[in-house]
Structure 1
Amino acid sequence: MLTIDGHCDPRFTAVREAFFRNFTEHGDVGAAVCVYLDDERVVDCWGGHADPARTRPWTADTLVSVASTTKGMVALCAHMLAERGKLDLDAPVARYWPEFAQAGKSEIPVRWLLSHRAGLPAIRRPLPTEALFGWSAMTAALAECEPWWPPGSRHGYHAITFGHLVGEVIRRVDGRSVGTFLRQEVAGPLRADFFIGVPESEDARAATVLPPPPVTEPTIWDTILADPESMVGRTFLNPPRTADLVNTRAWRAAEVPAANGHTSARGVARVYAALARGGELDGVRLLARATIERAIAEQSSGRDEILGLPTRFGTGFMLGMRGSIFDCGPGRRTFGHPGRGGSIGFADPDARLAFGYVTNQYVTGTARHPDRRVPALVAATYEALA
């Protein structure tokens, strides 16, 4: 019998009910949802199992790979360095990373890396899977890579390269990897579980990710697999990855900052709670309010060259848009990031609300059969605020 554990403020009972239905109607196996309103954790629920055999119950501190939800943490780290005066977002990347100037990239500003405008969604030179786990292999390939479109002219989702591009700038500026910076400057002080590079001591907490159930309708993966040598194909398949890679110790230990963060719903919601409140939570300040406002000013919008769908980006954070892949409800200034498979974290500064949802059952939504889990939870959350 399914049991939902945790806490739910009576005002948000509908969120708990929607979460229950995610298991009974929408295919969740193990998942958690957490909502902050101002500095109060009003929803903190979890349920299901962390393994396909359903022998390991999901717990309050279960970690799971959240794919691109990680990108929001990378953006946060970059803005913290900018606020400290160590990084100028409008300076050329080559100021901090001289090798990046190759192939006509000498004038690309850091801001374009964060807003997916640099024209580097894919690496042209074929790389082996092992390159994902070798930081220098990825950054050297990006430094020599010619842009796929004139930088700044349009935007396209840098699915994997985002993390190495921004992460290398962070490393050059600060001396620490993005995973170390996140642990020491964000997750540690805030007491939030969010890792880019899971320590071996925490490995037993990691849930097994389950592949998406098969679908019969067209998805972006049909486009990718139809021409793996194309720009879109290389974006997702170079270096190549197998479906079970996400469950290996090598993946959990590595820093793939665009795609392999591991967190709990509590962890991601707690970080966004600080940002929803103007940058501070429980006496820990991450950013000034003015820095957040600059970070969420729109930089890119319209048809995405990679996804083929409308997307909106600030400087690193995805911006909410109704009917899009990042539909965060009625909030007009929501920001954060979704992840492939279903996870999400976002802040609504106007409502002083933060939301986190993580799952180990990946789902590929389609036009006729979208992934209904997050929309149901978000709708219930905002209905409780009405």
Structure 2
Amino acid sequence: MAFMKNALLVCITAVLVVYVPSLWTKTPPTLTAGTVQPGFEPVLKVFRENFAKGVESPTGGSAFSVYYKGAKVIDLWGGYADTEALRPWREDTMAIVYSSTKGMAATCIALLADRGHIDYDKTVASYWPEFALNGKENITVRMLLNHEGGLSYTDGPISFEQLADQDVLGQLLAKEAPKWEPGSAHGYHGMTFGLYVSQLLRRADPKHRTLGQFFKEEIAQTFDVDFHIGLPLEVYHRVARPPAVTALWQTLFKGLTSPLNRQVMWAMATGKTDFLKVLNIESMTQAEHFLNPEVLALEQPSASGIGTARAIAKVYGMMANGGTTRDGRKFLSDGLIKKFIGEAEKVATMDRTIGLKMLFNLGFMITDEGEQQFGHPGSGGAQGRADPKWRIGMAYITSYPTPFSMGDDERFLTLEKATYECVKKLEAK
């Protein structure tokens, strides 16, 4: 009986937290803008309907972009870049994409591999000798990128001061010991992935740049990609501002409607994951830090990349187009791109950090829900994906994070579905 009373109390609380505030909230007007090429009009319709029907938050904002056969065919944005000030989302609005940053980090390593400066099957220590400390000498680049190195969290928190000093950070990371036998399992390196990858890149890159510097010079400036790993302070005004941490509590109960979220929460509750230990890197796991421009100026290639949807879609669009731009400039070799999916394991296996079956390869998350894709999702709903078969690169970013970060966010899924339907109709002609 006591259990039933507690369960009823939780349900009543959920209703009060989620729905009662809306009774005093005036719904702002729906704002959408952008362009679609002929044949993709249904995607624009879905984008607008998502705002009109409440699939998108009435005070949130988002952008969705698609490249098809190397050309931009969808570029949409709508809603508000600031949920509190109701600042409209504009064409040049950027957003924090959290773990979708990892896909951009993996792309940087792919560029080095394509140029012969790094070999996925060599040990990390062959480029970074200090890394061999404490049982890490046999960890290969491939294992590190596939979250198999046993380095999903650090023994102590990492401060902003350490994050800002690449030499100090490198020494700290080199001393860490694997938390499981490297190569025996994968556990999502939520906050450490980008830090280790950046240190590796510094050693393998002939110019010894950080990952953020490498991305800026080799991708952003070279291919006109509006994305940053380490945000310049002068462009901070363009960044969408997520709601205050307290406002996000209104969405937590909604997250319980997701079977994937329930599975993750059960794994956490029963102690079957290392998820809470991953949050030990306190400098970048507290939501309020993502509102601080000085923090965003630091390089955290695991979680703090910032850019437009068209920027992410352009990168994946080039890779989906055989590694070349629309005008024939080379980005990556097609042979290497085919390895992202082609060399991946065929069956997803349980991830010891997340508590779900997942599949990684060379830094990308591999999905196969009817169409094979590589890319990376981000906390709160951000997505960046490439489909080489259909030659599609797509991205979704938002100012209003939701709990649906495991690939089941209706906002993105409805747009993705409409995009594929349009592409298949065009291909059938």
Q: TM-score, normalised by structure 2?
A: 0.82
Q: Which residue of 1 aligns with 2:363?
A: 316
Q: Could you tell me which runs of 5 or more consecutive residues in structure 2 were left unpaired when the two chains were aligned.
A: 1-28, 425-429
Task: Note the C-alpha offset of 1:242.
Answer: 2.0
Could you say what secondary structure the match of 1:7 adopts? Answer: strand
Query: Which aligned pairs between 1:116-127 and structure 2 lie closer than 5 A?
Result: 116-127=147-158
Could you say what secondary structure the match of 1:50 adopts? Answer: strand
Q: 1:74 aligns with which of 105, 116, 121?
A: 105
Q: Which residue of 2 aligns with 1:8?
A: 36
Distance 1:162 1:127 in 2: 14
Could you say what secondary structure the match of 1:46 adopts? Answer: strand
Q: 1:181 aligns with which of 207, 214, 230?
A: 214
Contact 1:66 1:259 in 2 (8 A): yes
Task: Note the C-alpha offset of 1:221.
Answer: 6.4
Task: Note the C-alpha offset of 1:53.
Answer: 2.5
Query: Which aligned pairs between 1:325-364 and structure 2 lie closer than 5 A?
Result: 330-332=370-372, 334-364=373-403
Number of corresponding residues: 376
Contact 2:37 2:73 in 1 (8 A): yes
Q: 2:344 aligns with which of 298, 304, 328?
A: 298
Distance 1:131 1:15 in 2: 44
Deviations 1:71-127 (A, max 9, x none): 111111101111111112111111111111111111111111111111110112344
Q: Which residue of 2 aligns with 1:143?
A: 174
Task: Note the C-alpha offset of 1:237.
Answer: 3.1
Task: Note the C-alpha offset of 1:214.
Answer: 3.4
AA matched with 1:372: E
Task: Note the C-alpha offset of 1:9.
Answer: 2.3
Q: Which residue of 1 aligns with 2:22?
A: none
Distance 1:168 1:223 in 2: 32
Distance 1:55 1:284 in 2: 40
Distance 2:183 2:374 in 1: 22
Contact 1:190 1:284 in 2 (8 A): no
Deviations 1:161-181 (A, max 9, x none): 110111111011110011111
AA matched with 2:234: S
Distance 1:158 1:116 in 2: 6
Could you say what secondary structure the match of 2:312 adopts? Answer: helix
Deviations 1:279-329 (A, max 9, x none): 11133322100011123320583111111101111111111132xxxxxxx
Q: Which residue of 2 aligns with 1:215?
A: 252
- Residue 234 in structure 1 maps to residue 277 in structure 2: yes
Q: 1:26 aligns with which of 35, 55, 65?
A: 55
Contact 1:225 1:233 in 2 (8 A): no
Distance 1:196 1:225 in 2: 34
Task: Note the C-alpha offset of 1:226.
Answer: 9.2
Structure 1 pair 178–128 and aligned structure 2 pair: CA distance change class (3 A): closer
Distance 1:366 1:177 in 2: 28
AA matched with 2:312: V
After the TM superposition, which of the residue ranges 233-242 and 190-199 deviates more from structure 2? 233-242
Q: 1:289 aligns with which of 334, 341, 344?
A: 334
Could you say what secondary structure the match of 1:11 adopts? Answer: coil
Q: Which residue of 2 aligns with 1:103?
A: 134
Larger Rg: 2
Distance 1:78 1:156 in 2: 20
Could you say what secondary structure the match of 2:118 adopts? Answer: coil
Root-mean-square deviation (Å) = 2.3
Contact 2:102 2:194 in 1 (8 A): yes
Task: Note the C-alpha offset of 1:48.
Answer: 1.1
Distance 1:54 1:15 in 2: 28
Q: 1:252 aligns with which of 288, 296, 299?
A: 296
Could you say what secondary structure the match of 2:142 adopts? Answer: helix
Deviations 1:170-196 (A, max 9, x none): 011110011111111111111111110
Query: Which aligned pairs between 1:138-177 and structure 2 lie closer than 5 A?
Result: 138-174=169-205, 175-177=208-210
Distance 1:139 1:270 in 2: 31
AA matched with 2:55: H
Distance 2:299 2:158 in 1: 17
Q: Name whichever structure is richer in helix by fraction.
A: 2
Q: 1:47 aligns with which of 78, 83, 86?
A: 78
Task: Note the C-alpha offset of 1:129.
Answer: 5.5
Could you say what secondary structure the match of 2:348 adopts? Answer: strand
Distance 1:96 1:102 in 2: 14
Distance 1:199 1:32 in 2: 21
AA matched with 1:169: L
Q: Percent identity?
A: 36
AA matched with 1:355: M
AA matched with 2:43: V
Could you say what secondary structure the match of 2:282 adopts? Answer: coil
Contact 2:66 2:394 in 1 (8 A): yes
AA matched with 2:371: G
Deviations 1:144-171 (A, max 9, x none): 1111110001111111111011111101
- Residue 114 in structure 1 maps to residue 145 in structure 2: yes
Distance 1:3 1:383 in 2: 25
Distance 1:233 1:284 in 2: 44
